[in-house]
Amino acid sequence: MENGAEDTKDPSGFLTNIIGKNVLVKLNSGVIYKGRLQSVDGYMNIALDDCNEWSEGQEVRKYGEAFVRGNNVQYISADT
């Protein structure tokens, strides 16, 4: 590697592998959604099933399905 640069990794493989699994999605606002990942696109738009909204460590709402616009997503984590 030139100048100590590391290879960047494409997250699409990770996202494809966790479709159908439980995930935690943190928004830029600090709100967290936990649910089963149904789909994600190149803009990080996310569809969740069996979704719960969490804020300040407490469950706020339960949704059957939720859609999160990608520009609001800070990160997605596989929920173990």
For residue 57, tell me if it sits in a domain.
Answer: yes
Q: What is the pLDDT of residues 3-15, one digit of tens each?
A: 544 556 777 778 8
Question: Tens digits of per-residue pLDDT, 22-80?
Answer: 999 999 999 999 999 999 998 889 999 999 999 988 999 999 999 999 999 999 999 75
| Three-state DSSP state, 1 | coil
Q: In the chain, how many domains are there?
A: 1
For residue 36, the model assigns a pLDDT of 97
pLDDT at 12: 74
User: What is the rounded distance in angstroms from the CA atom of residue 74 to the CA atom of residue 63?
Assistant: 20
Please indicate, yes or no, if residue 62 is contained in any of the structural domains.
yes
On the 0-12 / 13-18 / 19+ scale of CB atoms within 10 A, 40 is buried
User: What's the domain range around 73?
Assistant: 14-78
**Residue 71 has what pLDDT?**
95
- The CATH number for 61's domain is 2.30.30.100
